[in-house]
Amino acid sequence: MTVDIASNEFALLRIVNMKRLSQSDNQEVRELVLAAKTDGMFYLDFSDFDSDLYTGMVNDIYSLSRSLFNLGLEEKLRYDIDTLTDLKTNGYKPIKRNLGGTPGQRDGFESYTIPPSSIFELTDEPFPRPTPIDEHWDTLRQFTIICRTSADIILQALSEALDLPAARGFESFHRQSESTLDIIRMLRYESADPAENSTMCIPQTAHTDLGSITLLFSNRPGLQLCPRGSDKWLYVKPQPNSAIVNLGDAISVWSNGAFQSALHRVASLPNRGMAERYSFGYLMRPVNNAPMCSLLNYPEGELERSIPSCQEWMQAKFVALRGKTEIGGTAILTGRPESFPIS
């Protein structure tokens, strides 16, 4: 797809090579830390990875996504995410259930969420699901392993950069062998006619991700980043063999703002209407009782009552995303002051 957008409308994100980062290469660690301090978003380049395996895996998840969204609405609503789970780890969200990015409008995407903990049978929670999920089970396991391993390496490198003791490192608040609230989320953005959206349409509202690390995959433009200290939205160009990594709320809160959470949204290209768009991501979350406070001077021992746990943070954010209340205003949604214009 050719994109006629001026080059200054694109974010110049840093590129971190996954293989070299896993070898603790100094230059790669430096790039990661700089990206975390500035944009909270970067490309994670899997080029030195087994490229057949990588491409096969990514294509297979797109194919799962198409099979799920092609099911009839009635079938999809049998797995309604809001009736299946409290913490929204399994099921379908129809278009328009969330807050939209344009004032007065609801969102313009449907999503299907899968819990990796159920794919790995780490929990006894019931896992109602349509058959395409079973048909792609091995890929979902492989995808989970690659994303979790990559995220863990990122967490360790960021903790070391802050000199956090191992017992309080970011990675210590993620336990891969236990059931977690991580999710794999597939999204399909509905196309919208340019005549009805003469300038721009914003099907996904501005937000920061509520967990720690998100690995995002899409081969279509539309994702936008608003860097900290700016009010300008920049497009993020998809790059081959690369995931886009977003740092979420936990990283910004734990590092006391030394690292940024990435404020992002999905918007149409200027004057183009919205093209149908598929994306998917692995969203990693800390353990439920992880404290949402700075870890730089966090004392050993019991969590203070006044500090929200990660689970409480997630619940407040879900309420804000659904746009059902003004609790916390836009601040919990965007990680920016109340006055931040979200559209």
Which residue number has the CB closest to Fe ion? 209
Answer with the entry of ligand AKG, Fe ion, none that 281 interacts with (C-beta below 5 to 8 A by kind). Answer: ligand AKG
Answer with the entry of ligand AKG, Fe ion, none that 279 interacts with (C-beta below 5 to 8 A by kind). Answer: ligand AKG
Buried-exposed string 290-316: b where 16+ CB fall within 10 A, e elsewhere: bbbbebeebeeeeeeeeebbbbebbeb
For ligand AKG, the binding residues in 240-279 under the rule CB under 6 A are 264, 266, 279
Collapse the DSSP code of 250 into the 3-class scheme (helix H, G, I; strand E, B; otherwise coil) and give the result. helix
Letters for 278-317 (x = contact with ligand AKG by CB under 6 A, - = none) are: -x-x------------------------------------
218 binds ligand AKG (CB under 6 A): yes
Query: In sequence order, which residues have a C-beta less than 8 Å from that of residue 272 and are 6 or more positions away?
Result: 194
Cβ 220 to ligand AKG, closest distance in Å? 8
333 binds ligand AKG (CB under 6 A): no
Buried-exposed string 160-195: b where 16+ CB fall within 10 A, e elsewhere: bbbebeeebbbbbbbebeebbbbbbbbbbbbebebe
107 binds Fe ion (CB under 5 A): no
Task: Spell out the alpha helix ranges (H) of the chain.
Answer: 18-22, 26-38, 51-69, 73-77, 81-84, 116-119, 131-135, 137-161, 249-254, 310-322, 331-334
Q: Which stretch binds ligand AKG (CB under 6 A): 7-15, 29-37, 112-120, 215-223?
A: 215-223
Q: Which of 88, 148, 174, 185 binds ligand AKG (CB under 6 A)?
A: 185
216 binds ligand AKG (CB under 6 A): yes
Rg (CA), the chain: 19
Interface with ligand AKG (CB under 6 A), residue total 10
> Across the strands, what pairs with 309?
291
Q: Which is nearer to Fe ion, 45 or 249 (CB)?
A: 249
Letters for 254-273 (x = contact with Fe ion by CB under 5 A, - = none) are: --------------------
* Dihedral angle computed from the Cα positions of residues 193, 71, 90 and 55, in that order, rounded to the nearest 10 degrees: -80
Q: Which stretch binds ligand AKG (CB under 6 A): 192-200, 216-224, 319-327, 331-339?
A: 216-224
Letters for 192-211 (x = contact with Fe ion by CB under 5 A, - = none) are: -----------------x--
Collapse the DSSP code of 217 into the 3-class scheme (helix H, G, I; strand E, B; otherwise coil) and give the result. strand
Task: Specify whether the backbone of 16 is left (phi greater than 0), alpha (psi in -120 to 50) or beta.
Answer: beta
110 binds Fe ion (CB under 5 A): no
Here the tokens at position 174 are: 């993620």
Q: Which is nearer to ligand AKG, 210 or 292 (CB)?
A: 210
Cβ 60 to ligand AKG, closest distance in Å? 18
Cβ 103 to Fe ion, closest distance in Å? 20
For Fe ion, the binding residues in 207-246 under the rule CB under 5 A are 209
Answer with the entry of Fe ion, ligand AKG, none that 187 interacts with (C-beta below 5 to 8 A by kind). Answer: ligand AKG
For ligand AKG, the binding residues in 31-60 under the rule CB under 6 A are none
Task: Please report, in angstroms and rounded to a whole number, the separation of the first and last CA atoms in the chain.
Answer: 26
Cβ 224 to ligand AKG, closest distance in Å? 9
Q: Which is nearer to Fe ion, 98 or 179 (CB)?
A: 98
| Positive or negative: CA dihedral 303, 307, 309, 312 | positive
Place of tokens 């005549």: 195
- DSSP characters for 306-333? TSPBHHHHHHHHHHHHHT---TTTTHHH
Residues in contact with ligand AKG by CB under 6 A are 185, 187, 209, 216, 218, 223, 264, 266, 279, 281
Residues in contact with Fe ion by CB under 5 A are 209
